[in-house]
Structure 1
Amino acid sequence: MINRFFSGRVRLIVVLACAPLFSFAQKANWQNLDLKTDSVFGISTERAYKELLKGKKATPVIVGVLDGGVDITHEDLKSVLWVNKKEKAGNGIDDDKNGYKDDVNGWNFLGNEKGSVEFEALELTRLIRRDMKKFANVTDMAREDEAAYAQFRTMKADFDKQVDEAKESLAGIQGFKAVLDRIVTKLGKAEPTAADFEQYKAADAMETRLKTIMVGALKDDTFKDFYKNQIQKGVDHYEEMLKYNLNLEYDPRPELVGDDYANGSEKSYGNNDVKGPDASHGTHVAGIVGANRTNNIGIKGVADKALIMGVRAVPGGDERDKDVANSIRYAVDNGAKVINMSFGKAYSWDKKLVDDAVKYAMSKDVLLVHAAGNDNKNTDVEKNYPNRNYEDGGTAGAYISVGASSWDDDETLKASFSNYGKTSVDVFAPGRQINSTIPDGNAYAKYDGTSMAAPVVAGLAATIRSYYPKLTALQVKEIIMKSVVKVDHPVTVTVNEEPVSMPFSDLCVTGGIVNAYNALKLAATYK
């Protein structure tokens, strides 16, 4: 599910417990900077290019960005796009006979000739809808159905809880908005400053609480941006959850995709609109991986030789296993050597279908990089899909799970929202306030999330494979894992709403943050 990095920020406003996570001023390109020289815990990308890679030859590496869409017209991306040279643009013919017409820069598995899916239900919602039909009139249940019915009841309880929480959160943020709008009216300014709120005489306890929050918020943000990004987007987020994600009646698939969803082997569906209705998340991810490093505009991606292949499979809601499986296969078949997957969900419809696609990627020497998720959960004990563990046993070797880190080398190093797991998460990488490309108008924005950390690692993997093309996917993973900067101090993790001090080694397999300089230095020693 994309954009989950946003929900945690909204919740803080809803409960009015403390100042929310605002856009702190931070060094530009901080994720690529060096801890010793720049005093931020980046991955030393710039140092690697300057000291290790200058003058070295490199070959382009295709990176599949499996996401919600990529704006292929963006000024910082249009020169680094994968181009299917076997396909003639716009002729409506499947020139290369791969089953996809006019797939010049990638493919969209969430559409057809009528348009594209923007919002989807959660996988939980879809499973409840499916099982409600099965158990609608249960009177005398066969013994073999007892376990399935018990699972259905557990899922239904989870579903009902999420609906209640979404309603409560929406009411909370609407209440916050109403009080804020009232104060702004009293102030007589369309865009008040921190000083205006500081001087305002609160009429009641709620206004006093809100005043404190706004004074803190507007120290590093404008009122216009705060209102848009944290108030209006908060309202939109929970309204979308209730209207689409948690709506048992909502199903856009028959009209806007029109495939036989029960047929997991079906592959030739979709359209060539790799941008889709909302490409903000995928465009941001693509920029982190490989935005042009030499054009002196915008930002610098991690990889200087990445070619971005957009594969649209993730709507505003939970991705479907069939689309994920087909997206992996599409990327592999069209030459991707690294695949970024900044999405995830708590339930799976057909895990085996995705497992088989992952196995296919492993057989073709492709490295998969997956975001660990943004629910501050221990994924050693709480399920998160997709994952590297096959349903029929065994694990995917060339598969990296990534948690999100912040910039200070102290107890706040783990991003508060990031999932973690001593055995299920491999590494951490920068994932807070990462500035990158967003669609329409050649724009840029700062986002939080493991969705941002994963492409940092995917970009690093692409760089290694560019400069050392003989290395296998397994070797690239090994290099990234062995070259982390170990964190030798505890960090704060919220457990059951209480802060707990934990060694960083309990958060991931390696106990460290990825480092491009160390990785490329190590890669040079491999034969």
Structure 2
Amino acid sequence: MNKINMNKLGAAVLGISLFAIVPFVSVAQKPNWQNLDLKTDSTFGISTEKAYNELLKGKKSTPVIVAVLDGGVDILHEDLKTVLWLNKKEKAGDGKDNDKNGYIDDVNGWNFLGSAKGSVNHETLELTRLVRRDNARFAGKDSSSVSVADLPAFKTYQLNKAELEKELAEAKFGIQRFEGIKNAIDGIVKKIGKENPTLADFEQFSPGNEMETNIKRGMLQQLKEGTFEEFYKAQILPGYNHFKSQIDYNFNVDYNPRDIVGDDPDNSKEKFYGNNDVAGPDASHGSHVAGIIGADRTNELGIKGVADNVVIMGVRSVPNGDERDKDVANAIRYAVDNGAKVINMSFGKSYSWDKEAVDAAVKYAVSKDVLLVHAAGNDNKNLEVEPNYPNPQYVAGGTASSWITVGASGWANDGTIKANFSNYGKTSVDVFAPGVNINSTIPGSKYAKFNGTSMASPVVAGLAALIRSYYPKLKANEVKDIIMKSVVKVDQTVTIADEGETTGKAVPFSDLCVTGGIVNTYNALKLASEYKK
């Protein structure tokens, strides 16, 4: 699921509680902070600009194709259109498979979530699909009416069904909370008589009850940082729409959009389906990811990507819901077969339908010298205890050698360096990278700040592409080795609090990932220049 940082109830992220509005203060940080340097800029970025200024001037590079497996990439964006992959073997718009690769008119990539009918936007979660599948076998049964051979599957079904019911109940409670807050705010705005009331308007407003008093108190803080319209669009509507989408689509066993694609979703061996619309109906997340990796550094527009000589290949495989293993496997294979040397995967889920299919595709990518970079996830979970899919551990045993799992960090070199939402794991997360308030490209040639390991992963993918661009003889596993050996170690203790806890446990940052540090472009390029000399 290509979710940006949104916890189960959305309250902490959006600054909303049932009885009051907690001020959502936007802490100012320097533009392009993820690429800045800790020593010279007092910001815990990855020293990309320092590397360009001191190490890369006058050096030649070769273009590297980076595949963005995501929800879609805006191919018209002012900061992306010059760095897009172009399939020169394909003649655009002729309706023919000119390069005979099985995909018609795949000029900028491919969309495994579409057909001539259109493209899938919303999807269920994998948990929902597993319950729907097993309802056919076990609905209405108890352990006494199930064969001994089916008991393990039946018990898994019961656990999954209970979890789905719990998640659905939480979503219904969440939307009730947001409806209450939203209706109260809408009522105050109506009383004030202005569509976009100002700070002065709220100062003059006289509350009629406790809810209105709480909202007024919160808005007086909010409007010191921005306009009412900005607050409403950024915090109220997304929260409401998040829970509504969960109820209508994600947790709805009766919802199945796969007819749009027209494939057999249970047949993981099926490869040739989809369409060439790499943007799809919602390209915000994927465009943001693409910009972090390689937004044009020369056009004086918008932002600067990490890498200066990359080609972005959009492979749409992640809906607004959980991605399907079949689509992920096919997206990986498509990227590899069309020349990608780095694959970014800013998605993940708690359940897997057909991990063997994904494992086979990962093994294929590894065999073709491709580096896979994956976001650790945004649930503040310890991945040593709770799995996240996809992952580099093969079901049949062994681990993918050219795979990096990335957690998200902030810009301050203190106890807040771990993003409070980021998953972690002493042996299951490799490195951390900037993933808080990252400004990047979104559709319509616009820009926005997002939070998430989804943003940290492309920082590392961009770094990997940069290394491969300037040192093309390095293999994928060598690039991984360089990235991990060149981190800046974090000598901080951070507090990890589980959901619902007011106090957490203090742990050294070194316990959160294999390397105990934040990736660093400058260090990595220096190491690359000397690697195996």
State TM-score, norm by structure 1.
0.97
Equivalent residue runs for 1:143-222 within 5 Å? 143-198=148-203, 200-222=205-227
Q: Do residues 475 (structure 1) and 492 (structure 2) align?
A: no
Residues 1:79 and 1:182: Cα distance change in structure 2 (over 3 Å):
same
- C-alpha contact 1:9 1:230 (8 A) present in aligned 2: no
- Secondary structure at 2:522's aligned position in 1? helix
Kindly provide the CA deviation profile for residues 7-66 of structure 1, in whole angstroms up to 9, marking residues without a partner as x: 468323144576265543321111111111111111110000000011100000000000
- C-alpha contact 2:279 2:316 (8 A) present in aligned 1: yes
Letter in 2 for 1:352: E
- C-alpha contact 2:9 2:171 (8 A) present in aligned 1: no
> Which residue is equivalent to 1:111?
114
- C-alpha contact 1:23 1:221 (8 A) present in aligned 2: no
Q: Do residues 274 (structure 1) and 266 (structure 2) align?
A: no
**In 2, Cα distance between the equivalents of 1:342 and 1:10?**
20
Q: Do residues 99 (structure 1) and 135 (structure 2) align?
A: no
**In 2, Cα distance between the equivalents of 1:123 and 1:17?**
34
Q: Is there any run of 5+ residues in structure 2 with no aligned partner, and where?
A: none
Residues 1:21 and 1:500: Cα distance change in structure 2 (over 3 Å):
farther
Kindly provide the CA deviation profile for residues 186-205 of structure 1, in whole angstroms up to 9, marking residues without a partner as x: 33332233454355443333
**In 2, Cα distance between the equivalents of 1:166 and 1:267?**
35
- C-alpha contact 2:332 2:365 (8 A) present in aligned 1: yes
Residues 1:398 and 1:180: Cα distance change in structure 2 (over 3 Å):
same
Kindly provide the CA deviation profile for residues 163-199 of structure 1, in whole angstroms up to 9, marking residues without a partner as x: 0000000000111111112222333332233454355
> Which residue is equivalent to 2:62?
59
- C-alpha contact 1:10 1:230 (8 A) present in aligned 2: no
**In 1, Cα distance between the equivalents of 2:104 and 2:159?**
43
Residues 1:452 and 1:109: Cα distance change in structure 2 (over 3 Å):
same
Residues 1:18 and 1:521: Cα distance change in structure 2 (over 3 Å):
farther
Which among 412, 420, 430 is matched to residue 424 of structure 2? 420
Tell me how far 1:136 sits from its aligned partner.
2.5
Letter in 2 for 1:54: K
> Which residue is equivalent to 2:524?
519
Which among 438, 455, 458 is matched to residue 452 of structure 1? 455
Which among 56, 59, 82 is matched to residue 79 of structure 1? 82
Equivalent residue runs for 1:327-342 within 5 Å? 327-342=331-346
- C-alpha contact 1:109 1:327 (8 A) present in aligned 2: yes
State TM-score, norm by structure 2.
0.96
Q: Do residues 294 (structure 1) and 302 (structure 2) align?
A: no
> Which residue is equivalent to 1:305?
309
- C-alpha contact 1:67 1:311 (8 A) present in aligned 2: yes
Tell me how far 1:144 sits from its aligned partner.
1.8
Tell me how far 1:219 sits from its aligned partner.
2.6
> Which residue is equivalent to 2:403?
399
- Secondary structure at 1:233's aligned position in 2? helix
Kindly provide the CA deviation profile for residues 213-263 of structure 1, in whole angstroms up to 9, marking residues without a partner as x: 323333323211110121112111111111011111000102x11112222
- C-alpha contact 1:491 1:502 (8 A) present in aligned 2: yes
**In 2, Cα distance between the equivalents of 1:246 and 1:36?**
47
**In 2, Cα distance between the equivalents of 1:423 and 1:15?**
38
Equivalent residue runs for 1:344-493 within 5 Å? 344-440=348-444, 442-493=445-496
Residues 1:416 and 1:198: Cα distance change in structure 2 (over 3 Å):
farther
**In 2, Cα distance between the equivalents of 1:460 and 1:323?**
26
- C-alpha contact 1:369 1:400 (8 A) present in aligned 2: yes
Aligned length: 525
Q: Do residues 314 (structure 1) and 318 (structure 2) align?
A: yes
Tell me the C-alpha RMSD between the 2 structures.
Answer: 1.5
Residues 1:395 and 1:137: Cα distance change in structure 2 (over 3 Å):
same
- Secondary structure at 1:53's aligned position in 2? coil
- C-alpha contact 2:9 2:170 (8 A) present in aligned 1: no
**In 2, Cα distance between the equivalents of 1:27 and 1:202?**
38
**In 1, Cα distance between the equivalents of 2:75 and 2:250?**
28
Tell me how far 1:5 sits from its aligned partner.
1.6
- C-alpha contact 1:23 1:433 (8 A) present in aligned 2: no
Question: Percent identity at matched positions?
Answer: 66
- C-alpha contact 1:9 1:21 (8 A) present in aligned 2: no
- C-alpha contact 1:318 1:345 (8 A) present in aligned 2: yes
